[in-house]
Structures are given as C-alpha cells and as structure tokens.
Amino acid sequence: MNATAPVHELRDWIAEHLDPLHDHASQGGLRRSDFDLNETRWTDAPTGAPKPAAVLIGLVEREHGVNVLLTRRSDTLRSHTGQVALPGGRQDEGERPWETALREAHEEVGLEPQFVHLLGLSTPYETGSGYLITPVVGIVQPGFTLVANPHEVADIFETPFGFLMDPANYEEREGRAPSGELRRFYATTHDERYIWGATAGILRALYERLYGAALA
C-alpha cells in the first residue's frame, strides 16, 4: 500500500498490521529501543523495569495526502527540551495505553478524544531514559481544533505520512551524551524540523510493521 494514498484507503490496511487494542497486555515480545544502534546500554540508563508510557501517532487527512501530528516540546521542560515528539506521556496507574495517548494529546494540544478513531498498537519502544512507550495509531477525523499547552508544547505541526514511511529519508547519526558516551540514533529532517531519537525510532518501527521490512 502506498503511504501517500487517501486515509480511507489506508485505514483498514494499517489496522491489519497493528496489534488490536485488547492485546495491549501481551506485548512482551518484539520491541525496539534507543539501544538498537548501540552495542551496549547507557552506563547511566535507569535500572529496573521501564516505566509504561504511550504516544499517539495521529494520522490527519489533508488535501494533498495524510500527515502525522507532531509537536515541538517546550523550551522550559526539564527533559528533552525543544525536541520533536509525538503527543504522549507516562501512563497513570490503571490506564490502558490508548487512554494515556488520548489523555495526553488532549492535555498537550487540545485534541478532543471524540475526533480520534483508534486503529491499533504499534511496536513498543524502550527509551534510554527508562520508559517503555506503546505507540497508539489513530485517524484524526475532520472538525478538530488544536491549541498548544504552553507549559508542554512550543509548536504543533504536521509531517507527511509518506515521507515518514520512506526509510530512505532516515539516516544514522551519532552524538555524545553528557556522560561522554557516544550514542547512535535515527534522524530525519523535513521542512527544517529535525526528528530524531525515540520519535524517529518509533516511526521507523511503524514502517517495519506496515511493510514487513527489517530495520537496518
């Protein structure tokens, strides 16, 4: 399926390649992580079980195709300041992943849950900061209005789904952490928006799910 197809053509095809919502508790198998491109875990990575979190991969139909809803984190946040991110955050106790994704999207960008048609769950992603993120994929239906929460979000924007589902647009980069360790990560740039780290990894993992192609 061409990722530039209209959303009504993509919807069922995407859902067929995702884990159903009711399978969320059994996702103990395949996962991707910040460590996939690195030989070892960070020396300063948190120990113990990662904390559960969820993000929304919101697919928005526009005149020229389907876009993915993204944000730039506020410059005042204590962690991941200014980075491009999918709406989401840590799961509250008793929450299911899609409930977290919808709640966080509402809190961060004002997206009302009734405008999101959930399709399923993509591959869980473990971050070097100690979170296990469940990506929740959904169609954002027409009629919504977005307002950024200034305490969490500096900007709201959209990036073409077809661009993000093209592995040729990603490259491996490396940088040094505050600890001095050299760390490798995926990154891509679209319209001067630099998408990297966990966000890029989650989107590449979705490409893998949809097209059955192993990540490099």
pLDDT beyond 90 at 208:
yes
Query: Which has the higher per-residue pLDDT, 6 or 206?
Result: 206
- The confidence score (pLDDT) of residue 75 equals 59
Q: Measured between alpha carbons, how far is 74 from 70 in angstroms, rounded to an integer?
A: 13
Return the CA Rg of the chain.
16
pLDDT beyond 60 at 74:
yes
Of 16-20, 85-89, 113-117, 209-213, least confident by mean pLDDT is 209-213
- The confidence score (pLDDT) of residue 23 equals 63
- The confidence score (pLDDT) of residue 190 equals 96
- The average confidence (pLDDT) of the chain is 89
- Ordered structural domains, the chain, with CATH: 7-24+49-162 (3.90.79.10)
Asked if 90 and 53 count as a contact pair (C-beta separation under 8 A), the reply is: yes
Mean of pLDDT values over 51-61? 96
pLDDT beyond 80 at 215:
no
- The confidence score (pLDDT) of residue 160 equals 97
- The confidence score (pLDDT) of residue 126 equals 94
pLDDT beyond 80 at 70:
yes
- The confidence score (pLDDT) of residue 64 equals 86
pLDDT tens-digit series, residues 125-141:
999 889 999 999 999 99
pLDDT band at 212 (very low <50, low <70, confident <90, very high): confident
pLDDT beyond 90 at 39:
no
Mean of pLDDT values over 89-113? 96
- The confidence score (pLDDT) of residue 42 equals 72
Mean of pLDDT values over 62-73? 92
Asked if 154 and 57 count as a contact pair (C-beta separation under 8 A), the reply is: no
Tokens 């559960």, located at residue: 52
Mean of pLDDT values over 174-197? 89
**pLDDT > 90 fraction of the chain, expressed in percent and rounded:** 69
Amino acid code (one letter) for 183:
R
Q: Measured between alpha carbons, how far is 139 from 204 in angstroms, rounded to an integer?
A: 18
pLDDT band at 73 (very low <50, low <70, confident <90, very high): confident
| 48-75 residues labelled b (16+ CB within 10 A) or e (exposed) | eebebbbbbbbbbbeeebbbbbbbbbbe
